Structure 1
Amino acid sequence: MNTPDHAAAGPPPGTSVVVSGKDAARVAFAAFVGTALEWYDYFLFGTAAAIVFNRLYFTTLDPTAATMAAFATFGVGFVARPFGALIFGWLGDRIGRRPALLITVVMIGVATGCIGLLPAFDSIGVAAPLLLVLLRLLQGIAVGGEWGGAVTLAVEHAPLDKRGRYAAMPQIGSPVGTLLSSGAFALVLLLPQEQFDAWGWRLPFLAAFPLMAVAFYIRRKVEESPLFDQLIEQDERAKIPALEVFRTAWRRLLVAMASALLGIGGFYVLTTFVISYGTTQLGLPADLMVNATLVAALVEVVVIIAMGRLAERLGPGRVTLWGGLLSAVCAFPLFWLIDTRNPAAIVLAVAAGIGVISVAYAVSGALLTELFPARLRYSGVALAYNLAGALTGFLPFIATALLQTSGGASWPAALLLVGLSLITALGGFLGERLRVKDNVVAA
C-alpha cells in the first residue's frame, strides 16, 4: 500500500533540523491551552444541543423531532470542518503553522460567545435556529483548522523519540475542554429551570470571550515550526497542499481517516448521544448524565498521558490497533450498564467507555503527523481528522433515529460503536507501516 515517492519522502539527507526538549514542552503547552479552549467551545454546543437547543430553538417540533433537529445542527459543525481544514491547511502549509492557529482561536471564541447572545425562537422566530446554524458553521470551520495545526506544531518542535508525549498534549485539551464545558453546565443546571432557560445556559458560552483572550496571548509567544522554516529556506512548500494530498497521498489520507474515526465518533456516541438517551429515553436527570462525562474526562486525561508514553515504545499505530479492538469488545457491555438506570453503573459505563476509546485517541496526533511529510502535514492531518469528523458528526442524530426503529433499545448505538472501533483498528494496523520519519536531531 505505497504512495508515490514524492508524497512519502522525508526531508532531504543532510538537512537535519535541531529541536530541543525545552522548546517542545513550551510549544506543546501552548498547543494544549488553545486546543482546550477550542474543544470547550465546541463541546458546549453538544451538551446544549441535548438539553437546551431542542427546547428553545426548535419549539414548534415534538420532543423527538426537536432533539433530532438540534443534533442535526450539531452535525452541521462537522460538515464545516473539512472546509476549515482546506482553508487553514493551505495557510499552515504555505504561510505558517503559527498564524493559522492564531486565527482559529479567535474565530471559534467569537462564534461561541455570540451563541450566548443569540435570542431564542420565541423572540425572533425562525431567525433564531438559522443564526444558530450559522454560528455552528463558523465553529466548525475554525475547529477544522485548529487541531491539525496544534498537533503539527507540537510534533515538529519535539525530538523524534519524545513525539508521543508531546503529540498527546493537544489531545489532553479534549478532556479538559469536556471538564470545562460539562462543569460549566453542571453549575448552571443548579439554577431553577426558569432561570436556566432564561439566561443561565448562556453563561458558559459567554465565558468563551475571556478564555479566547488568554489563549491568544499564550499562542502569540509560540515560535514557528523549525521544519516549516526549513521548507521556506529550501523552497519546498506545496503550491496547493490539499490537491497534492488528494493526488499523491490519498492512500495515507484514507488510513489516517480510519485511524481517527473512533476517537471522534465514539466520543460523541458516548457523550452527546448518551446524555440525550439517558434524559429522554431512560428518564434520568440531566445532571447525572453531565456529571458522568466529568468523571469520564478525568479518566481520559490519565489514559492519554499513559498512552502517549506507550506510543514512544510500541509505535502509535500498534496502540491504535489495540485500542480499537478493546473498544469493540466493550461496546455492548457499556450500553448494558447504562440501560440498568443505576446511577453508579451509568457513571462507570461512561467513564470506562471514554477511557477505552481514548487509547486510540491519545495517539492520533502522533500517528497522523507521521503519515504525511512536512510539506503536506498541516493539510493532510487536518483533512484526515476533519473528514473523519464529518463522517461521524451525525452519529448522535443517526443513533437517535435508530432508537425509533428499535423500540428504544440501545443495541443500534452499541453496534455503531463496534463498527467504528474495528475500522480504527484497521487504520492503526496499516498506519504503523506507513509512518514517515522527519530528519531531526535533539539539541
Structure 2
Amino acid sequence: MKSASAEPTVEAHSELRAPHADHAGRVARAAFVGNLLECYDYFLFGTAAAIVFNRLYFTTLDPTAATLAAFATFGAGFAARPIGAAFFGYIGDKIGRRPALVTTVVLIGIATGLVGCLPSYASIGIAAPIVLAVLRLLQGFALGGEWGGAVTMAVEHAPVDKRGRYAALVQLGSPFGTLMSSGAFSVVLLLPPDSFDSWGWRLPFLAAFPLLGVALYIRLKMEESPIFKKVTELEERAGVPLLELIRTSWGRLLVALAGSLLGVGGFYLMTTFVVSYGVGTLGLERQLMVNATLIAAGVQIVALLVAGRVAERYGPGRLTVWGGLSTAAAAFPLFWMIDTKNPVAVVFAVSLAIAFISIAYAVNGSLLTELFPPNVRYTGVALGYNLAGVISGFLPFIGVALLDASGGASWPICVLLAAIAIATAIGGHLGARMRLKDHDIAE
C-alpha cells in the first residue's frame, strides 16, 4: 500500500506544541468514563442479542433464523457508525473535540436506556423489532464519534513519551464495560426464567440512565484539546474534514481500518459469538458463558495496562503485529478448548483469547492518532476505527451462518478469527512505517 504524496507531513505543523501533563490524567479519565458507557451499552446489547432478543423480539422465526436476525440487528448498529464518525468528525475537527464528545455520550445513554423500556413482540407485534433496530442504529450513530474523539482527546492532552499509557487508559472502558454488563446479566439471570424474560433483562439497560448522568457530569468538566485550540489559532482547520481526509490520507485510512479489525471484531467474536455458540451449539449453561466473559474482562484489564506501557518502548505498530500474530496462532487451540465443554477449559480459552486480542487493542488509540495530522485527526481516527466496526459488527452473524453451514463444526470460526488477526498484524506493520512521529506536537 502506498501513501499519497499529498499527505501532510509532521513539518507542516511544526508550530504546534503539546501541553504538559497537568490535565492529562483528568482528560484520560473523562475519556475512559465515556468509553466505559459505550462499551457497557454495546456489550449489553450483544449479550442480549445472544440470549434474549432472539426469543422475545423475533419469536415467529425458527431458532437459527431468530439468532441470525438478532445478530443482524446487533450488526446494524455498526453499519451506522461510519456515518456517525463522519458527522461527529466534522464537529470534532471544525468546532471542537469537547462538544462532539458531550453529544455522543448523551445519545448513547438515551438509546440504551430506551431499549429497557421497549415492549416485546408479544405486546406490540412487528413494531417491537423495528423500534429495536432504530434504537440500535441511533446507538451506532452516536458511537461512531465516541471512541475516536475519546482517544484523540486523551492523546492530545498527554506528553508524547507517555501516550501509550494514556491511550490504554481509554481502552480500559472495554473490560470495565464488560464487567459491568456481564455482571449485571449474571445477577438478573439468577431470577426465575419467567421473571427474567418479563422484566429482569431490562434492568441492566435501564441502568444506562444513571450512568449517563455520571458520564455527562465528568465530560462537561473536560477541557478542550490544546492541539485543536492551536490548529484553530493558526487557521489550519480543514474545510470539510472528510473530503480533506480522503484527498490526502486515504492510504492512512485503510491502514487504520486494518489495524482496528482485531480489537473490535476479534473481541465480539470471542464474546458475543462465543456466548451464542456455547449456549446454542454446545449446550453449555448461559451462566457459564456469561461468567467466562466476566473473568476474561478481568484478564483484559491487566493485559491493557501492560501493553500500554510496553508500547511506549517498542511502539504501537510493533505491539499490533505481536497481538495479531499471537491471536492467529492461537485461533484453533482456543476453539479446541471450548469444544471440550469443560467449564475450566472454556473460561481459560475465552480469557486467553481476550488477552491476545488486547495486545493490539491496547495500542489502537496511539496507533491511529499518530497516523493522522491534527486538522483531520478526529475524523480519521473515528472513520478508520468504525469502518473496521462495520465489518466487525457482522462477524457474530457471519459466525452463526458459517456454523450452520458446517453442521456445527468450529473450524470455519477459527479461520475467520485468524484472518482478521493477520489483517490487523499487517495494519500494525504498515502503521509503524507511516507513523507521524509528532515532532509537530512535541513538548
TM-score tier by shorter-chain length is over 0.9
For residue 11 of structure 1, report the CA deviation from its aligned partner.
5.9
Give CA deviations for 1:74-117 in whole Å, capped at 9, x if unaligned: 00001000011010000000000000000000000000000000
Give CA deviations for 1:183-212 in whole Å, capped at 9, x if unaligned: 100000000000000000000000000000
Unaligned ranges ≥5, structure 1: none
Give CA deviations for 1:7-52 in whole Å, capped at 9, x if unaligned: 3323646524241223111100110011101110111100000000
Q: Distance in 2 between matches of 1:206 and 1:363?
A: 32
Q: Tell me the residue number matched to 1:440.
A: 441
Normalised by the size of structure 1, how large is the TM-score? 0.98
Amino acid of the structure 2 residue aligned with 1:333: P
Give CA deviations for 1:237-279 in whole Å, capped at 9, x if unaligned: 0111111111211111111110110111100110011000000
Q: Secondary structure at the match of 2:10?
A: coil
Equivalent residue runs for 1:409-424 within 5 Å: 409-424=409-424
Give the number of aligned pairs. 442
For residue 6 of structure 1, report the CA deviation from its aligned partner.
4.8
Equivalent residue runs for 1:105-116 within 5 Å: 105-116=105-116
Q: Secondary structure at the match of 1:327?
A: helix
Q: Distance in 1 between matches of 2:179 and 2:303?
A: 15
Q: Tell me the residue number matched to 1:338.
A: 338
Amino acid of the structure 1 residue aligned with 2:270: L
The answer on whether the counterparts of 2:16 and 2:227 sit within 8 Å (CA) in structure 1 is: no
For residue 222 of structure 1, report the CA deviation from its aligned partner.
0.8
Q: Secondary structure at the match of 1:52?
A: helix
**Gap change, CA 1:13 and 1:343, over 3 Å in 2:** closer
Query: Is 1:96 the counterpart of 2:83 in the alignment?
Result: no
Q: Distance in 2 between matches of 1:66 and 1:26?
A: 44
The answer on whether the counterparts of 1:52 and 1:197 sit within 8 Å (CA) in structure 2 is: yes
Amino acid of the structure 1 residue aligned with 2:157: H
Give CA deviations for 1:392-443 in whole Å, capped at 9, x if unaligned: 211111110111111101111111000001111111111001111332344x
Q: Distance in 2 between matches of 1:362 and 1:13?
A: 27
Q: Distance in 2 between matches of 1:242 and 1:18?
A: 24
Q: Tell me the residue number matched to 2:129.
A: 129
Q: Distance in 2 between matches of 1:435 and 1:52?
A: 43
For residue 391 of structure 1, report the CA deviation from its aligned partner.
1.3
Q: Tell me the residue number matched to 1:287.
A: 287
Q: Secondary structure at the match of 1:320?
A: helix
Q: Secondary structure at the match of 1:371?
A: coil
Q: Distance in 1 between matches of 2:393 and 2:62?
A: 23
Q: Secondary structure at the match of 1:334?
A: helix
Query: Is 1:216 the counterpart of 2:216 in the alignment?
Result: yes
Q: Tell me the residue number matched to 2:384.
A: 384
Q: Tell me the residue number matched to 1:33.
A: 33
**Gap change, CA 1:127 and 1:11, over 3 Å in 2:** farther
Q: Tell me the residue number matched to 1:24.
A: 24
For residue 370 of structure 1, report the CA deviation from its aligned partner.
0.2
**Gap change, CA 1:3 and 1:283, over 3 Å in 2:** same
The answer on whether the counterparts of 2:92 and 2:98 sit within 8 Å (CA) in structure 1 is: yes
Equivalent residue runs for 1:108-187 within 5 Å: 108-187=108-187
Amino acid of the structure 1 residue aligned with 2:69: A
Q: Distance in 2 between matches of 1:265 and 1:197?
A: 29
Q: Distance in 2 between matches of 1:376 and 1:167?
A: 18
**Gap change, CA 1:307 and 1:240, over 3 Å in 2:** same
The answer on whether the counterparts of 2:292 and 2:346 sit within 8 Å (CA) in structure 1 is: yes
The answer on whether the counterparts of 1:7 and 1:372 sit within 8 Å (CA) in structure 2 is: no
Q: Tell me the residue number matched to 2:45.
A: 45
For residue 4 of structure 1, report the CA deviation from its aligned partner.
4.0
Normalised by the size of structure 2, how large is the TM-score? 0.98
Q: Tell me the residue number matched to 1:236.
A: 236
Q: Tell me the residue number matched to 2:85.
A: 85
Amino acid of the structure 2 residue aligned with 1:114: L
Amino acid of the structure 2 residue aligned with 1:440: I
Matched residues, percent identical? 64
Runs ≥4 residues deviating over 4 A: 11-14
Amino acid of the structure 2 residue aligned with 1:37: L
Q: Distance in 1 between matches of 2:121 and 2:104?
A: 29
**Gap change, CA 1:414 and 1:275, over 3 Å in 2:** same
**Gap change, CA 1:17 and 1:207, over 3 Å in 2:** same
Equivalent residue runs for 1:300-339 within 5 Å: 300-339=300-339
The answer on whether the counterparts of 1:10 and 1:374 sit within 8 Å (CA) in structure 2 is: no
Q: Distance in 1 between matches of 2:383 and 2:142?
A: 13
Give CA deviations for 1:358-410 in whole Å, capped at 9, x if unaligned: 10011000000000000010000000000000012111111101111111011
Amino acid of the structure 1 residue aligned with 2:234: Q
Amino acid of the structure 2 residue aligned with 1:326: S
Q: Distance in 1 between matches of 2:235 and 2:364?
A: 29
The answer on whether the counterparts of 1:272 and 1:396 sit within 8 Å (CA) in structure 2 is: yes
Amino acid of the structure 1 residue aligned with 2:50: A
Q: Which moved more, 1:7-16 or 1:78-87?
A: 7-16
